[in-house]
Amino acid sequence: MSQPPAVHLTTLGCAKNQVDSDKVVALLGEAGYGAVDDPADADVVMVNTCAFIEAARRESIDTILELSAAKRTDAKLVVIGCMAQRYETELASALPEADAVVGLDRYPELIGRLDTLTDWQPIDIRPARRSSMDILFRVARPTPTTPYAYVKVAEGCDKTCSFCAIPQFRGPQRSRPPVNIRDEIVDLTAAGVGEIVLVAQDLAAYGRDIGAPGGLTELIRFVSDVDGLRRLRLFYLYPKEVRPALVDEMIGNPRVVDYFDLSLQHTSPALLRAMRRPGSGDAHLELIGDIRMRAPGAAIRSSFIVGFPGETDADVEELADFLRAARIDWGGFFPYSPEEGTDAAVLADQIPEPDKLERLRYLQAIQEEITAERNASMVGRRLDVLVDHVEEGTPVARSYREAPEIDGVIVLDRGEPGEWTVAEITGTYGNDLAGRRIGS
């Protein structure tokens, strides 16, 4: 091949995977590869997979097969990401459609594999070989296409939750140096990004492994004064790690939004012990009450596992009562998925799938009603909003209450992507709000 190959990359899973994809795109660009949006135009079709739960793995396989059918017959199909890391040998055997399966640890080999697959022999001098940590943490990212961006501050996790396989394929926590994180934020804001979302598998434990004084609290102080940064948001806070100093910094720092993404998982003390998670419904309510006492308008999101082994109808009702009492703004519910190699997968009293789904629908309905009521209370308020994009002529924006891609949005009467403005909330549409722009 005499011309640089063009690559199409599809990303599945969480925000952390999107950050990895951004770094891979930058690595490909450094090596001279082009990028295309349409897989039919690509010489290499790549899928960054997710392996967190069974549903994510099914989506990954379905997407791989769909893209295999959509690509040109002479184009190559490459599977990367979490699923490639966790099941590399099995995928290579079970998916003859894939020309290469490259796990996270083997990202330094990615360019060489692509060169061989495409028979491309570039004449330019390539950058020095990078380690997998360099690729995931230090490669400069491409110009963002949205006015917000995720920044991963650590890789891996040291927690031992009995249901989670992430430490098996992502490894122990490895925090980035604070200066490295700030430099990435500087680059992103210089490119027009106004909102930064800090992410990690265990964000609130940031810095512990590298002895960073002050941990996440000090990191927030260190990066929040970057020129051009208007809004800093935190994702994935393990409740036991949400200590008073962190809450004080989040509430007192004008760049950090009053948005608390608390990973609670359940309220039954017995189930939480079996999950190897801290707390109880009462402890969760105390934490939420303390946050709201200090910041009455704080938005609170959490996620919950439904149908964990041994969960009883009484446990479900306890969680339902908690939702009614806590009145969190946003809630995500996920059916328990037994993950190979985890302790929970071999527990007795596994819950049948139909029961999991019935319980999930019941709890979702309760939370949807609460979310609708929380949204309705915003009508008449004026909020600072960021316009993310324009969809079919309609501006779509977010305030401090709505995180990108997972919460509701605010539909405006006018506005341009990347614009910051003030909106008066005029109505609600399910999870979403309607707003009228104030001023010019």
Query: CA–CA separation, 347 vs 360, rounded Å?
Result: 20
Task: Tell me what pLDDT residue 273 has.
Answer: 97
Binned at pLDDT 50, 70 and 90, residue 16 comes out as: confident
Helices 313-326, 353-376: axis angle to 10 degrees equals 10
The whole-chain average pLDDT of the chain stands at 92
DSSP string, 96-144: TT-SEEE-GGGGGGHHHHHHHHHT----SPPPPP--HHIIIIISPPPPP
Together in a domain, 211 and 180: yes
Let me know how long the chain is.
Answer: 440
**Looking at 132, 147, 176, which one is the last position of a domain?**
132
Mean pLDDT in residue range 373-390: 96
CATH code, 92: 3.40.50.12160
Together in a domain, 213 and 254: yes
Range of weakest confidence among 106-115, 116-125, 227-236, 240-249 = 116-125
Q: How many domains does the chain have?
A: 3
Each residue's pLDDT tens digit, 192-213: 999 999 999 999 999 999 988 8
- Whether 234 has a pLDDT exceeding 90, the answer reads yes
Backbone angles phi, psi at 367, to 5 degrees: -70, -35
CATH code, 363: 3.80.30.20
Binned at pLDDT 50, 70 and 90, residue 36 comes out as: very high
Task: Tell me what pLDDT residue 196 has.
Answer: 97
The maximal CA–CA distance of the chain, rounded, in angstroms, is 67
Task: Tell me what pLDDT residue 288 has.
Answer: 97
Together in a domain, 96 and 60: yes
Together in a domain, 231 and 281: yes
Residue 120 covered by a domain: yes
Range of weakest confidence among 134-148, 166-180, 381-395, 418-432 = 134-148
Centre a 10 Å sphere on the Cβ of residue 282 and count the other Cβ atoms it contains.
Answer: 12
Pairing relation of β-strands 44-49 and 394-398? unpaired
Task: Tell me what pLDDT residue 64 has.
Answer: 93
Each residue's pLDDT tens digit, 407-431: 999 999 999 999 999 999 999 988 9
Residue type, 425: I
**Looking at 349, 376, 403, which one is the last position of a domain?**
376
- % of the chain residues with pLDDT over 90: 77
Together in a domain, 397 and 359: no
Together in a domain, 386 and 366: no
Helices assigned H by DSSP within 171-280: 178-190, 215-223, 244-252, 269-275
Binned at pLDDT 50, 70 and 90, residue 31 comes out as: confident
Each residue's pLDDT tens digit, 47-90: 999 987 888 889 999 999 999 999 999 999 999 999 999 898 89
Together in a domain, 294 and 326: yes
How far from the centroid of its chain's Cα atoms is residue 410's Cα?
20
Together in a domain, 116 and 161: no
- Whether 27 has a pLDDT exceeding 90, the answer reads no
Burial track 6-23 (b if 16+ CB lie within 10 A, e otherwise): bbbbbbbbbbbbbbbbbb
Residue 1 covered by a domain: no
What number of CA atoms fall less than 13 Å from residue 135's CA on the CB side?
26
Taking Cα atoms as reference points, which of 216, 28, 203 lies closest to residue 118?
A: 28
Residue 226 covered by a domain: yes
Q: Are 162 and 276 in contact (CB under 8 A)?
A: yes
Expressed as residue numbers, the domain containing 181 is 139-376
Together in a domain, 101 and 143: no
CATH code, 424: 2.40.50.140
Each residue's pLDDT tens digit, 90-118: 988 889 999 999 998 888 889 889 999 99
Mean pLDDT in residue range 127-139: 63
Together in a domain, 260 and 120: no
pTM for the whole structure? 0.85
Rounded to the nearest 10 degrees, how much is the dihedral formed by the CA atoms of 414, 416, 420, 425? 20
- Whether 123 has a pLDDT exceeding 70, the answer reads no
- Whether 129 has a pLDDT exceeding 90, the answer reads no
Together in a domain, 199 and 338: yes
Burial track 240-276 (b if 16+ CB lie within 10 A, e otherwise): ebbeeebbebbeeeebbbbbbbbbbbbbbeebbebbe
**Looking at 338, 354, 376, which one is the last position of a domain?**
376
Together in a domain, 175 and 232: yes
